[in-house]
Amino acid sequence: MISPHSERGAWKSERLESGPAEREGRPAERPPPPTGPPAWDGPPPAGAAPAPRSPLDRLRAILDRLSIRWRLTLTYAALFFIAGALLMAVIYLMVGWALYSAWPDFPYNEMKELFGPDVAANVKQEWYWQQHAAISGAQKELLARSLLALLGVGILAVIIGYIVADRALKPIQQMTATARKLSGSTLAHERIDLKGPDDELKELADTFDAMLTRLNVAFDTQRRFVANASHELRTPLTINRTVLEIALGDPEASGDLKALGRTLLEVNARNERLIEGLLLLARSERELSVRKPVDMKDVAETVVDQLAARAEEAGVTVVTELRSAETVGDPVLLERCVANLVENAIKHNLSDSGRLWVRAGMVEGALVVQVANTGPHVPAYEVNSLFEPFRRLNADRVDSDKGAGLGLSIVRAVVRAHGGNVTAVPRDGGGLVVTVRLRSR
C-alpha cells in the first residue's frame, strides 16, 4: 500500500490535478481559491455536537414516548379543561353584566331635594364606588372558586379520559390477545370475531380475520407439502438402498462392483440424512404441537447412552454432570436437539484422546444444557455462522464427510420454538462450548 506522503503518491496526485494545458507544456489557468465560510452539505461528521432543540421539539419528543392510551387520555383531558376554562370565562363575564344590570339606580332627585345638590353628588359618587367594589369583589370570589372547581374538573377529566381511552382501546386489546394465542395448531379455528358497529375498528378486525384465514390455508398447504415431500423423497432412497444391499450381497459380484456399491450406499445414506435434517428443520421452525413435561436430565442421559458406542469408536471420552431440570415442550425435538449437539461434539473432536462434557441443570432459575468438546480451534468470528443451514467450519457446502451442515441449525430452531436461546463460544485450547437456555417448568 502506498503512503499518501510518498514521492510516488505525490507525483500521482500532481498528475491528477494537472490539466491538459500543463501536460502540453504550457501554463494552465488555475481557478481562484474559494472564498467565504465553508459550507457543509452532507451529514454531520461523527462526534459533532447535536443542534440545540427548541422547547417545542422537546415537548414533541416527550409526547412521542407516550403510549397511545396516555395520548388519548391527555387529549380528552385537555378538551375537558379547555371547555371548562371557556365556560368559566363566559360565566365570569355574564355574572358581571348581570350584577351591573340588577344594581338599582341611585335616587339622585330625591337626595337633591332632601340634602341639596352637593351632598347628593357626593353620595351618588360613593354609591357607584360601592357598586363597583361589590361587583368586583363578587367577580373575584367567583373567579377564585371557579379556578378550584376547574382544577377538580381537570383531575376528573384525566380520570374520565383514561376510562374513555380504555374503552376505546378494548377492541385493539382483544385483537392483541387473539394474536398472542395464535399458533399453527389453533390458526384453523381462532378468530377475533369482533362484535359491534361497522366502524373502522370492526373493519380492521374483519381484515385481520381474513388474513388469518389466508395464513391458515398457507400453513395447511405447507404441512401437506412437507408430508408429501417426506414420502416422495424417502421412498426412492429406500429403494436405492435395498437394491444396493442386494447387489452387494451377491457372491458373484466383482470387487469393483462391490466398491462402487459401497460408495453409492454412502452417498445414499448421506442423502437420507440430508432429507431427514431438512424435514426436521422445517418441523422445528413451526409452532410446537406437543407440549409435555420433560426432564432434560433424562433426555441427556438417553442421548449419551445412545451415542456411547460412536464416542468410543471415535476415541472420545464423555464426561457428564447431569442434574434434574424440568421444562415443558416436545420430547422428540428436545432429544434431537441434545443429540445434534453431542454428535457434532464427537464428529469435530480430536482424533485421539478427545474429550466431551455434557452438563444439565438449573442455573439462577434458568434451565441450562451445555455441551463442550476438545477439537480444532474455532475463530470467534466464525461461531455465529455455524448456526446457519449448510454452513461448516473450513468447508464448503458440497464437500463434507461429517454431515450436511444442519445440526446446529436444527438446534437453534428447536430452542427458539421452545422460547429459549442458544449461544456458542470458542473453548480455550480448541473446540466449542454450546449453551442452551430454556424456560423452566
pLDDT in tens, 185-221: 667 677 888 887 888 888 888 888 888 888 888 877 7
For the chain, the average pLDDT equals 77
Residues 153-179 have a mean pLDDT of 84
Residues 45-70 have a mean pLDDT of 70
Q: What angle do CA 264, 266, 271 make, to 5 degrees?
A: 95
Separation CA 338–CA 16 (nearest Å): 63
Crossing angle for the helix pair 407-417 and 255-284, nearest 10 degrees?
20
Residue 62 has pLDDT above 90, yes or no: no
Q: What is the pLDDT of residues 91-144, one digit of tens each?
A: 888 888 887 777 777 777 777 777 777 777 787 778 778 878 888 888 888 888
Separation CA 213–CA 217 (nearest Å): 6
pLDDT over 70 percentage in the chain? 78
Residues 224-243 have a mean pLDDT of 77
Fold assignment, 289-438: Heat Shock Protein 90 (3.30.565)
Residues 352-375 have a mean pLDDT of 89
DSSP class of 424? E
Q: What is the pLDDT of residues 245-282, one digit of tens each?
A: 888 888 877 888 888 888 888 877 777 766 776 666 66
Contact criterion met (CB below 8 Å) for 420 and 437: yes
Q: Which SS3 state, helix, strand or coil, does residue 230 take?
A: helix
CA-atom Rg of the chain in angstroms: 42
Higher-pLDDT residue of 100, 146: 146
- Sort strands 421-426 and 432-438 into parallel, antiparallel or unpaired: antiparallel
Is this prediction's pTM over 0.85?
A: no
Residues 6+ apart with CB under 8 A from 226: 279, 282, 283
Q: What are the residue boundaries of the structural domains of the chain, listed by start?
A: 68-168, 289-438
Buried b (16+ CB within 10 A) or exposed e, 328-363: ebbbebbbbbbbbbbbbbbbbbbeeebbbbbbbbee
Residues 7-24 have a mean pLDDT of 43
Residue 34 has pLDDT above 60, yes or no: no
Place of cell 405447507: 222
Contact criterion met (CB below 8 Å) for 358 and 300: yes
List phi, psi (to 5°) of 321.
Answer: -140, 90
